[in-house]
Amino acid sequence: MRVVIQRVSSASVTVGGRVTGKIARGLLVFVGIEAADTAADGEWLAAKLAGLRIFADGAGQMNPSVADIGGGILLISQFTLHASTQKGTRPSFNAAARPEHARPLYERFFAQLSTTLGRPVQSGEFGAMMEVSLVNDGPVTLIIDSKQRE
């Protein structure tokens, strides 16, 4: 699993004109699932995200986590995170998991993240066309891949 994390002041997602998820201060997390991913990838990422210390403390240092500040998480599925542009100019999405494999892993990751965070996580709609709005805070943007546990 690959995630792009953005620290936000606020974020929301709309599907078909209906807001399906909305947070104030917290993390906007785009997640891409590849064919080789398992539930263990989601477990590791859920723990990593909930404990990731990227919010400013009183001294302006990145010390508190989203859990520490009582922030929200907005989770968005995004298969394009596994795009390859190695050949030509049209991306290939062959590494992205097929929906029948990705959907159960996404749903399990969503549940794991809510449990680890200790409160409900907001989300978009798996496989839908979504409009995501956000106000970057910093900006702070990180990329984490469960296959490269750095």
* Residue among 38, 80, 115, 141 flagged as catalytic: 80
**Residue located via tokens 């477990």:** 43
* Residue among 30, 79, 109, 110 flagged as catalytic: 79
Residue 30 a catalytic site member: no
In a 3-state reduction of DSSP, which class is residue 61? Answer: coil
Residue 79 a catalytic site member: yes
Residue 86 a catalytic site member: no
End-to-end CA distance of the chain: 13
- What's the Cα-to-Cα distance from 6 to each of 3, 18, 28, 104, rounded to whole Å? 10, 23, 5, 24
Residues carrying an active site annotation: 78-80
